[in-house]
Amino acid sequence: MTFYQQATQSNNSNPFYSGERTLKIDSTVAILLAVAFIIFAIICIAMHNYTRRKIREYKNKQLEEYKIKNPNRKNATYENARLYLPAWQRAKYNAHIFLAVIFIVGAIAFLSGSTLTTL
């Protein structure tokens, strides 16, 4: 038996992969859900320009507050002032990317009619 035959046998010894499960829903419902998930993903991706603008506004507001508190550093840039975008703001403004990925994976699962299981 070759290495390839051993690796592709049906009894998989991987502890993290237990097989493939089929979705038990009607095909029209699955297609409608997949289309809805794709639309949600497109909406999430379309929010990218809006969130970039919001990040820029937040950074400008932060820099203005810094210049008010430090009047002797009027020509400071955002990087020179060592300012940063807090984690909660970064998560809020980048959540649309993660949601888009989740919606795309969900749409693929509905279109294929099966999911890989790890449980």
pLDDT in tens, 39-51: 999 999 999 999 9
**44 found inside a domain:** yes
Residue 96 has pLDDT above 90, yes or no: yes
**118 found inside a domain:** no
Q: 40: part of which helix (H) or strand (E)?
A: helix 27-46
Q: How far apart are CA 43 and CA 29, in angstroms?
A: 21
State which residues form the domain around 90.
21-113
**5 found inside a domain:** no
**3 found inside a domain:** no
Number of domains within the chain: 1
Percent of the chain with pLDDT over 70: 78
pTM > 0.85: yes or no: no
**45 found inside a domain:** yes
Cα radius of gyration (the chain): 24
